[in-house]
Chains A and B, each alone.
Chain A
Amino acid sequence: DTAVSQTPKYLVTQMGNDKSIKCEQNLGHDTMYWYKQDSKKFLKIMFSYNNKELIINETVPNRFSPKSPDKAHLNLHINSLELGDSAVYFCASSQDYRVANEKLFFGSGTQLSVL
């Protein structure tokens, strides 16, 4: 029944490793997003895709690469992890980013800890 599901919920890894976070939504939405919430609780957009097309690509290190195999999935791959990458990563979806007053549905988050 989960609308937006992301895995894993917790990810603990060493600096320099490569890791992926997966996200899937079963709401039939066209737009999916990745947000990062840092230790100061700021939620910042990283990427968005609409029906597999990249829409938003904020200034994030190119070690972060999103992949959208279809409109129901948006995965996040991170190369050469650094201490500063430690944060909670939220996946989200909405019907269509072009609609005003769109409601975002968030996944439950992935707590990434880089040691």
Chain B
Amino acid sequence: RKEVEQDPGPFNVPEGATVAFNCTYSNSASQSFFWYRQDCRKEPKLLMSVYSSGNEDGRFTAQLNRASQYISLLIRDSKLSDSATYLCVVLSSSNTGKLIFGQGTTLQVKP
């Protein structure tokens, strides 16, 4: 079983749609969680950290369910510019700063 699992998609949605991605992680001792965004042929960039209480940044909402060991990302009112790959990332419990990346979920927003 992969340490961090995501549905690779692609998710094809029209502009204005709401789309949600889920991610599961295997190590219950994991403490820190993130969503990174990677545009085609570019480097990953931090989109947002994921906190236990859930957090929102504009049209983006991230949630964490520790009991089920899954993380979600909700994008409301999708824009063309949201088209990218969204990487679910978990900080390893090894205290070495090791980040474990999921394969990523590809989102294509269509006009």
Contacts and interface: CB of A to CB of B under 8 A. Distances in A.
Given A101-B32, A104-B46, A108-B42, A42 B97 contact: no
Interface in B76-111: 85, 87, 91, 95-101, 103-104
B97 A31 contact: yes
Interface of B: 8, 31-32, 34, 36, 41-46, 49, 85, 87, 91, 95-101, 103-104
A55 interface: yes
8 contacts: A44-B101, A48-B97, A90-B43, A90-B44, A97-B96, A101-B32, A104-B36, A108-B42
A66 interface: no
Contacts of B45: 106
B31 A100 contact: yes
Contacts of B41: 109
Contact of A55 (B49, B87, B96, B100): B96
Given A100-B91, A106-B45, A108-B42, A41 B97 contact: no
B35 to A, nearest CB: 12
